[in-house]
Every structure is written in C-alpha cells, then in structure tokens.
Amino acid sequence: MENSEQERNFDAKLERNETIEPKDWMPDNYRKHLIRQISQHAHSEIVGMLPEGNWITRAPSLRRKMVLLAKVQDEGGHGLYLYSAAETLGITREELVSQLLTGKAKYSSIFNYPTLTWADIGAIGWLVDGAAIMNQVMLQRTSYGPYARAMVRICKEESFHQRQGYEIMMVLAKGSPEQKAMAQDAINRWWWPSLMMFGPTDEKSPNSANAIKWKIKRESNDQLRQKFVNQTVPQAEIIGLTVPDKDLVWNESKKGYDFGTPDWEEFYNVIAGNGPCNKDRLAARTKAHAEGAWVREAAQAFADKRKELEVI
Amino acid sequence: MTKDSQGFLWEVFIQSKPGQPHRHCGSVHAHDKEMALQNARDVYTRRNEGTNIWVVRSEYIVSSSPEDIGPFFEPANDKIYRHPTFYSVPEGVTHM
C-alpha cells in the first residue's frame, strides 16, 4: 500500500516533468536501468579515448596535436561526470570499473573499430561525436537529475569535438587526390557504424519501452537516426564527400532522407565481442588499471601518513 | 579500505565568478584534500568555469529527506506576513 503511494508520487513527478533526484523514491527497475545506461555511457567515454589516443603522437601538426589532446582529455572528463552521476544511484566507482574490466558492462561498440588513418580522427569527431551529440542533446532533458545535469555540461563541450573533426575532413577533402581519397575512405568505413550507434530499430530495442515511459529517453532510436542522417548528408555534400549508401534518396513527403539498412548482423557480432578491436580495448583498460595500482596505493599511504601527523 | 580503492568521494562546488555563490557541480574521487581540489580543477574547470572551488567529503553532507518535504518545510507555510505583499500601503506612497 505504501509502495503504491510512492509509485504514484514518482509517476506524478514524471508527469509534471520534474526531475527525479538521488534521494527520491524510485522503482528498482528505474534505478537498474539508469545504472546500466549511465555506466555504459561513462565506459564509452573512457574506452573512446583509445582509438583517438592512437593518433596523438602522429598528429600532422602541433595545432592538431594540441586539439586532439584537449579532445581526448575532455572524453576522460565526460567519463568522470558520468561515473559521478551513476554513483548517486548507489553503485561505487570500484564496482563500475570492475564491471567494465570483467566485461559485465558494455560500452558503445563503435569504439571496437580501428583508426587506420589520420582521416579516421576527422570522421570520429564529425560522425561519431555528431551521433553522440544527437543522443546527448535529448538526454539533457532526461528524467534523472544528475544525469541531465551531466549532459548539459557534456553538450557544451562536445560541439568543439564535432567541429574539429569536420574541419579535418574538410581540409583533407580540399587537399591532394590522395588526401581526398583518404577522407572518402574514412567516411566509407565510419558511416554505417555511426548509424548503428543509435541502437537497434525500435521494434528490436529491448530497453526502449521503459526508457520512454520513464522519460529517460524522449526520442526513439529510429527517430534519432533519421535526424542524424538528415543533418549529416548535406554536411558531407558541402565538402564534396559521398555517403556510402546507394539507397540514400531525399523523400520530399517526409522532408527527410530515405536510407539503407545497417548491417545488423555485424552490429550484434561486434557487441558480442567479435569486432576488430574488442580484445585490444579491454586489454588496454586492464593494463592501465593494473599499472595504476601502485599510484592508488601510494596516494592512500601518503594520505594515511598525513592524517597521522595532523593528529600529533 | 581495500588496496585497489579509488579513494574517497568528494562533492565539488564551484564559484563561477567573484561575488557569485558556490554551486554544486558533481563529485570526484581522491585520497586527500589536496588531490580532491586538483582533481576537481582538472575535471570541472577545463574552460575557466571557476574562480574558486570547494570540495567536501560526501559522507559529511547532511541532507533533508524528500519524503518529509511537507512536514519539514511546514513551519514556513502559514507565515504570509513575512512577505511584503501582506501589507497594504496608501495610494501614492513610493519607494517602499
């Protein structure tokens, strides 16, 4: 009886578009759903540092290197904002890290693709960050307060990421035939995985119904994917690159593009752990965590020592 | 605390400009207060968002509970005489 009153209060809050805050009563499944989604989002930011980190030492100029460093540092920061939001739901940082390293928690499968050329850094900023922004702009109005506030902060910082990526592509597209070919090759490889970032189609998305009901998500996977295609295709045209989709055609009646179907078999295969870089990514995180152990121990020993001295 | 600990959880409050109040913006992990301040700076002020930072161990924050919102704030409910609109002043009186 008491439970149902709490539930009614919770539903009424959602109805009034008020945010749910850490100490508010919430259904267990709402809490579980958020922990899964926010931690997966956080892990994606952290693992997302790896494909780009791969090019920091080989960036073609000092300006590009500075910018890429700042961007990768931002991704680390975004991971931390999100871990911080997830922790307000009652899970510890230690548990979150261990779920990533043991493979219990997922991260966005886009980061299991390799960055083969410098143009891939452009494609990631433009397409991958572009797709992420589409999702994150919506999440600024998500029903869980700490998650929504983290998103506002992240969205402010992300737009530089997308612009710097687009600029890399633009410069390559205006360069020598080889450079232009490199840019086109990058969009060819990153286009479909970027569309897959929005998740399975609405009818195949297991978590979507609850997410919409609880106002965690306010637009469906397919709606967001359509918006992304509509806004990105003209951006490609302006710099003279082609989106690798033979079924792409403007549909005047819906004021949007019709487009082809991503290879969902590939999507599920990469999620299942069989992408080109799944093993490398987890190995890199595990190595970083293990090699940082002595720093955490030393920091704790130092803090304990200082505390002793303060008492005396 | 286990060997592999991520340190304590600290809440971070940032003053965006001189004269403004400090506002809560999130949390960081750190083993001691200096590290907490430095981590808060690196995580939350990469674009000059702050002129001052407070950090406080999360476990020391005391908060009212949302279930008690009614009774807890009740004492203020029936005291409309604390607001200027409770009082009538004659027509033509200004600067009040």
- Which of A87, A146, A306 lies at the smallest CB-CB distance from B9? A87
Whether B93 is in a domain gets the answer no
Please give the average per-residue pLDDT across A242-264, as a whole number.
97
Closest CA to A108 of A129, A93, A91, A125: A129
Separation between Cα atoms, residue B37 and residue A211, nearest integer Å: 36
User: Percent of chain A scored above 70 by pLDDT?
Assistant: 98
Provide the shortest C-alpha distance from residue A303 to chain B (in Å): 6
Separation between Cα atoms, residue A84 and residue A39, nearest integer Å: 10
Provide the domain count of chain B.
Answer: 1
**pLDDT, mean over chain A:** 95
Using an 8 Å CB-CB cutoff, list residues of chain B that contact chain A. Answer: 1-7, 9, 25-32, 35, 42-43, 46-47, 63, 65-67
Whether B91 is in a domain gets the answer no
Output the tens digit of pLDDT for each of chain B's 96 residues.
455 789 999 999 999 999 999 999 999 999 999 999 999 999 999 998 999 999 999 999 999 988 888 888 888 888 999 999 999 999 999 998
CB pairs under 8 A between A and B: 65
More confident residue, A208 or A152: A152
Whether B96 is in a domain gets the answer no
Whether B75 is in a domain gets the answer yes
Q: Is the pLDDT of residue A6 over 80?
A: yes
List, as own/partner pairs, every contact residues B17-23 make where C-beta atoms lie below 8 angstroms and the sequence separation is at least 24, other chains included. Answer: B17/B51, B18/B51, B22/B52, B22/B54
Residue numbers in B near A93 (CB within 8 A)? 6, 9, 29
Whether B29 is in a domain gets the answer yes
More confident residue, A205 or A206: A205
Burial class (CB in 10 A: 0-12, 13-18, 19+), A235: middle
Q: Is the pLDDT of residue A2 over 70?
A: no
- pLDDT at residue A79, as a whole number: 97
Mutate to test the interface with A, among B1, B9, B10, B27 (most CBs of A within 10 A): B27
Domain of B63, CATH number, reads 3.10.20.520
Beta pairing partners, B96: none
Burial class (CB in 10 A: 0-12, 13-18, 19+), A217: buried
Separation between Cα atoms, residue A235 and residue A230, nearest integer Å: 9
- pLDDT at residue A309, as a whole number: 83
Task: List pLDDT tens digits, range A65-113.
Answer: 999 999 999 999 999 999 999 999 999 999 999 999 999 999 999 999 9
Whether B95 is in a domain gets the answer no
Separation between Cα atoms, residue A111 and residue A52, nearest integer Å: 10
Q: Is the pLDDT of residue A312 over 70?
A: no
Domain that holds residue B45: 8-86
Whether B94 is in a domain gets the answer no
